A and B are shown apart, each in its own frame.
Chain A
Amino acid sequence: MVTAGIDIGHESVNVVVLHDDGILGHATLVISGEVGAAARLAFETTLGRLGVARASIQRIFATGVGRENVTLADGHRTQMLSHARGAHWWFPGARTVVDVGAEGNRVMRCDARGSLTDFALNDKCAAGSGVFLETVAGMLDIPIADMGALSLRGSSDVVLTSTCAVFAESEIVAEIHRGTPREDILRGVNDSIVSRIAATSRRVGIEPDLVLTGGVARNAGIVQALREQLEMDVAVPEHPEITGALGAALLAREPAGAA
């Protein structure tokens, strides 16, 4: 059976094509705009790149924001279900999945089958999110891709206390004016983001194995901070940003039916 999963993200669309032996292929396309059209474009582009015919795909599930408007999909599932399932496929021992997305963080608990048993979303604001990291990158004039490695060189002198992203930004400005090294600030930012994640996680409990998914998982500094704060190992998939789409493709295989 060949299925496909489409994950509508903040600025991009991820597509995964899955068959019985594993992932046939995947693609991440930076597309935004009307969800139905974006999904169609991403899907068709992916099929084109993989040389896969549309007719060979038996079922398509969509996830992400606006998933119910992806008309070419046969059904849809929420991001939480999809991420848990996707992370579990890569790491069958996974029982806790953390996804740091653009707008916030989510923590999912799953069972031995990868079925969602509990979840929590971050509470009050943006200070635990990808968008916040982007803002910080802008303030420090650092490419996002470099943030992780740079932060690993930082000391733990900087502590940001604000629960609010706006106040946290003021604190960062104060540190910049003080001449604090950027790597120290970044480390403080990571610690702050991770403490929000830890707070969200505590609401559902953390059971190993812990998997981190979503684009932010590529930030080695965040991964390290998570390891330190939760005092446990953190597994990161090779392609963390496709976890949702993978999960959707997996869910599409199941006979429980389309929504």
Chain B
Amino acid sequence: MTELRRATKSLDTVRRAREMLGSYYKRAERRREGAPLAWCMAGVPSEVLQAFDLSCEWPENFGTVCAARGVAAELCERAEGEGYSQDLCSYVRNSIGYVSRLLELGQVPPEAPRGGLGTATMLLGSGALCDPRIKWFQSLSSQYLPLPVFHIDPMSPPHDSHVDDPRIEAHYKEILSETLHEQVAFLERTLGRPMDTERLRAALGNAQETIALLWEIQSLRRAVPCPMGSEDFFTGGVVPLLFMLGERDAVEYFRCLRDEVRDRVARGVGVIPDERFRLLWMGIPPWYNLGFFNSLGELGAVFPAETSYYVGAPVEIDLSDPLEALVDRTWKRAVWITRWGAEVIPENLSPSGFSQPGTRLIRQWVHDYRLDGAVMHRTRSCRAVSWGQIHIKNQLEEEGIPSLIFESDMADPRSWADTIIMGQIQGFLEAIAAGRRERARAS
């Protein structure tokens, strides 16, 4: 019997996310018929969209919402019926199933959560992070929504590049700058108005604050007991970080979150009362079963750190030329990650500011977060993120901690085999406990 459930959040701020982040959560109510609206991918910098005051929807986030609301399976099935293989990304299949239904009905399907996605007037893609992206909006626009598409194409340096060599830097920054300028030009053409440079500057300033606050929060999570677990990050951190970076509301939200986490640390309040296992989470979570983290909480496991949607240390940027500042931020961040070991994340250069941590950093986290082990989600339809798990597992073994890799999917619940997975988890935790007993006996 499957037991898929939503997450129980432990932080007040996270519970209040919907009211604090109204510009995102209430956007369905604010839709205006016929107004310009872009469907965007992660990787497209939200600051630029804000500079145009452009309404957006994020189909991959919609995939996570559909998963959480239990409708992703049928939407994926619909896409499969139209020829899309079950091996392809489940966010893509979900969005295609949705669009197919939308076109069939001529209106938002009744099963679509939160009022579905607004009517797109353009599609903004990005090649950052993974390869299906280059095919996704190509498929969507060719087959279902013949809309203007612009696809930014940021190129990441190979992980062994000499990123300090100014020629290497120039080579990659040139194309990055070009692609972002082209995006701006596309938006100016399509919307018939120039970008508001002041708004971009303000958004980038806000983003700096958000990133700094997040950096602090991640640091605070090192405390024992852990004040904030992965489930809170996934339910309460991902949306403002990925889709609202640059907005004032997101800054205030993260400030509030930082304050709450700081307070918990001061008072010694943890996510679970009896913390027996501190684990690293690696991979995209099973969005249709975030309650999984609470199930593990019941077994005494907490996740003080996750590799997903990782931003890293804030970098200094000069906001006098905001678009160049965005280029600079993107590059500096990629360099930072590369220095921390980017051999399993070839696509670490992302204008929207996040990717994954480097290998050496993850090893460092074993000590920083006092980790006992790692749980890795091998997502069947996402090769990009599930890649590197074996390598990291080997690296973590060298740091003395074991890892469990289990298989399912991020949005497609049909792949969740509860008995098998929970069996593996329980065995894993028992093995960690047994290892501890052995070491105690030996010493």
Contacts and interface: CB of A to CB of B under 8 A. Distances in A.
Interface of A: 123, 157-159, 161-163, 167, 170-171, 174, 199, 202-203, 205
B76 to A, nearest CB: 10
Contacts of B81: 202-203, 205
A161 B77 contact: no
B86 A161 contact: no
B192 interface: no
Contacts of A171: 417, 419-420
Nearest to B83: A203
B425 to A, nearest CB: 15
Contacts of A203: 80-81, 83
Contact of B420 (A159, A170, A205): A170
A233 B77 CA distance: 21
A158 B1 contact: yes
A163 B407 CA distance: 12
B422 to A, nearest CB: 10
Given A162-B417, A163-B414, 20 more contacts: A159-B1, A159-B2, A161-B2, A161-B414, A161-B415, A161-B416, A161-B417, A161-B418, A162-B420, A163-B415, A167-B420, A170-B420, A171-B417, A171-B419, A174-B419, A199-B77, A199-B86, A202-B77, A203-B80, A203-B81
Contacts of B419: 170-171, 174
A116 to B, nearest CB: 19
A132 to B, nearest CB: 16
A157 B1 contact: yes
Q: Which of B416, B417, B418 has the most CB of A within 10 A?
A: B417
A95 to B, nearest CB: 16
A123 B86 CA distance: 10
A61 to B, nearest CB: 33
Interface residues of B, number: 15
Nearest to A199: B80
Given A158-B1, A159-B1, A159-B2, A202 B80 contact: yes
Interface string B396-436: 00000000000000000111111110000000000000000
A202 B420 CA distance: 28
Nearest to A178: B1
Interface residues of B: mostly helix, strand, loop or mixed?
helix
B83 to A, nearest CB: 7
B379 to A, nearest CB: 14
13 contacts: A157-B1, A158-B1, A161-B413, A161-B416, A161-B417, A161-B418, A163-B415, A167-B417, A170-B419, A170-B420, A202-B80, A203-B80, A203-B83
Contacts of A161: 2, 413-418
Contacts of A123: 86
Contacts of B415: 161, 163
A128 to B, nearest CB: 13
B229 to A, nearest CB: 26
A158 B416 CA distance: 14
Contacts of B418: 161
A199 B86 CA distance: 10
Nearest to A204: B81
B415 to A, nearest CB: 7
Interface string B57-74: 000000000000000000
Contacts of A174: 419
Interface in B1-51: 1-2
A124 to B, nearest CB: 8
A179 B2 CA distance: 17
Please list the 9 inter-chain residue pairs (A to B) with the smallest Cβ-Cβ separation, ordered nearest first: A202-B81, A174-B419, A162-B417, A161-B417, A171-B419, A167-B417, A161-B2, A167-B420, A159-B2
A186 B273 CA distance: 42
A123 B77 CA distance: 14
Nearest to B4: A161
A205 B77 CA distance: 12
Contacts of A205: 81
A199 B82 CA distance: 11
A181 to B, nearest CB: 14
Contacts of B1: 157-159
Contacts of B413: 161
A48 to B, nearest CB: 48
B93 to A, nearest CB: 12
A202 B85 CA distance: 11
Interface in B65-111: 77, 80-81, 83, 86
Contacts of B414: 161, 163
Contacts of B80: 199, 202-203
Interface string B307-327: 000000000000000000000
Contacts of A159: 1-2
A129 to B, nearest CB: 18
Contacts of A157: 1
A167 B418 CA distance: 11
